[in-house]
């Protein structure tokens, strides 16, 4: 019995990477009975007579999973947001960050198209970058046109499974092309799906970049907070978590309660006003969510 990682799922076959070789496997019927579907990214045990005929015997416990695209055991999400064209969108970035924090996935923020930033826009973009770095996020500034900053992303891939996410039209496929020029066809596939939220991609594959794996379809195409409970939301804002010990009430929601350390930090300017305002709007969105039966 061997162990490996599923790197591709296609037409009922699972392609398992084990000790440098890829085995084409089918799932056992027992998975259907247990209502377990093997996913790309799963660590599995399998048996195979050769590289074309194998069977997955067991799927090991997952640390997380996404529905769209169907992938498991993601280490990090590369969030690509352009400085301009389209304009930097902190409200959408904060929405992505909440969804990623809730899944215990490490976010890395990449601000693209930095070569297009003019003198008028530059202070605003630099302030956003400073704000997110102060929270504790890694923020990289890149331009695929000049290749500035592109190489700085490579070390993040090593030993990790990554998904790309972000706005449509921000240069995610260009960034992947810059990192691996031989992926021209695959990045066409990526750009077709990124940021649309309309497509259900049945074929998911992990591609090797920088000593790690990157999903060839975008993560977080559904951006609703359907799975996030109200009490979970403050935990998805690291700067709130860092201050929550100073709140008078345990389980403080940082909205209406008196003597709230988070609201005090917001009032004093230690927490950027847009971050707190986005949080409050997310609270309202979750409160207004229709219950699922």
Residue 188 buriedness (CB in 10 A; 0-12 / 13-18 / 19+): exposed
Predicted pLDDT at 69: 80
Region 29-42: mean pLDDT is 85
pLDDT for 233-255, tens place per residue? Answer: 999 999 999 999 999 999 999 99
Q: Residue 24: what pLDDT?
A: 97
Residue 56 near residue 25, CB atoms below 8 Å: yes
Assigned CATH for 2-60 = 2.40.50.140
Percent of the chain with pLDDT over 90: 71
CA dihedral 106, 14, 211, 174 (to 10 degrees): -70
Question: How far apart are the C-alpha atoms of 219 and 198, rounded to whole Å?
Answer: 13
Tokens matching residue 185: 């066809």
Range from 27-31, 113-117, 206-210 carrying the lowest mean pLDDT: 27-31
59 neighbors 13 (Cβ within 8 angstroms): no
Burial 139-154 (b: 16+ CB within 10 A, else e): bbbbbbeeeebbeebe
> What pLDDT was estimated at residue 200?
38
**Half-sphere exposure in the Cβ direction for 195 (13 Å, CA):** 16
Binding residues: 112-115, 166-174, 247, 252, 254, 260
Q: How much of the chain exceeds pLDDT 70, in percent?
A: 91
The CA angle 62-228-7, to the nearest 5 degrees, is: 30
Q: Helix/strand/coil (H, E, C) string of 181-214? A: HHHHHHHHHHHHHCCCCCCCCCCEEEEEECCEEE
Backbone phi, then psi, for 214, in 5-degree steps?
A: -125, 130
pLDDT confidence bin for 88, thresholds 50/70/90: very high
- CATH for 66-222 is 3.40.50.300
Give mean pLDDT, residues 168-193: 67
Task: Name the binding residues for GTP.
Answer: 112-115, 166-174
- Tell me: pLDDT of 193 over 80: no
Distance CA 265, CA 261 (A): 6
Q: What mean pLDDT is predicted for residues 192-201?
A: 39
* 90-138 confidence digits (pLDDT tens): 999 999 999 999 999 999 999 999 999 999 999 999 999 999 999 999 9
pTM higher than 0.85, yes or no?
Answer: yes
Q: Which helix (H) or strand (E) holds 265?
A: helix 261-268
| DSSP tag of 50 | S
What residue ranges do the domains of the chain occupy?
2-60, 66-222, 228-288
Q: Which residues are annotated as a binding site for Zn(2+)?
A: 247, 252, 254, 260
pLDDT at 194: 41
Looking at CATH, the fold of the domain delimited by 228-288 is given as Ribonucleotide Reductase Protein R1; domain 1 (1.10.40)
Q: What is the C-alpha to C-alpha distance for residues 249 and 191, in angstroms, rounded to an integer? A: 46
Assess whether pLDDT exceeds 70 at residue 195: no
Q: Residue 223 has what pLDDT?
A: 83
Q: Is the pLDDT of residue 192 over 70?
A: no
Q: Considering the chain, what is the average pLDDT of its residues?
A: 89
* DSSP H/E element including 5: strand 2-10
Mean pLDDT confidence for 7-15: 93
- Cα Dmax for the chain: 66
Alpha-carbon gap, residue 56 to 31, rounded angstroms: 9
């Amino acid at each position: 019995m061997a162990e490996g990682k599923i790197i591709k799922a296609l037409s009922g076959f699972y392609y398992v990477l084990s000790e440098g070789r890829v085995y084409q496997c089918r799932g056992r019927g027992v998975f259907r009975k247990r209502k377990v579907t093997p996913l790309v990214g799963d660590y599995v045990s399998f048996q195979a007579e050769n590289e074309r005929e194998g069977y997955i015997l067991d799927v090991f416990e997952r640390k997380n999973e996404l529905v769209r695209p169907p992938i498991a055991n993601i280490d990090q999400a590369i969030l690509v947001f352009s400085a301009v064209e389209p304009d930097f969108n902190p409200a959408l970035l904060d929405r992505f960050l909440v969804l990623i924090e809730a899944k215990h996935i490490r976010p890395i923020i990449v601000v693209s198209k930095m070569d297009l930033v003019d003198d008028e826009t530059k202070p605003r973009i630099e302030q956003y970058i400073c704000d997110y770095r102060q929270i504790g996020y890694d923020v990289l500034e890149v331009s695929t046109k000049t290749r500035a900053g592109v190489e700085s992303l490579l070390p993040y891939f090593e030993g990790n499974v990554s998904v790309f996410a972000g706005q449509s039209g921000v240069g995610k496929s260009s960034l992947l092309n810059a990192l691996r020029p031989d992926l021209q066809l695959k990045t066409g596939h990526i750009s077709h799906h990124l940021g649309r939220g309309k497509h259900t991609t049945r074929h998911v594959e992990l591609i090797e970049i920088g000593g790690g794996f990157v999903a060839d379809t975008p993560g977080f195409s559904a951006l609703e907070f359907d799975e996030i409970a109200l009490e979970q939301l403050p935990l998805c804002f690291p700067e709130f978590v860092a201050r929550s010990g100073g709140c008078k009430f345990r389980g403080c929601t940082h909205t209406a309660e008196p003597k709230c350390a988070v609201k005090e930090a917001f009032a004093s300017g230690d927490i950027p006003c847009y971050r707190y305002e986005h949080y409050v709007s997310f609270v309202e969105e979750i409160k207004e969510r229709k219950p699922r039966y």
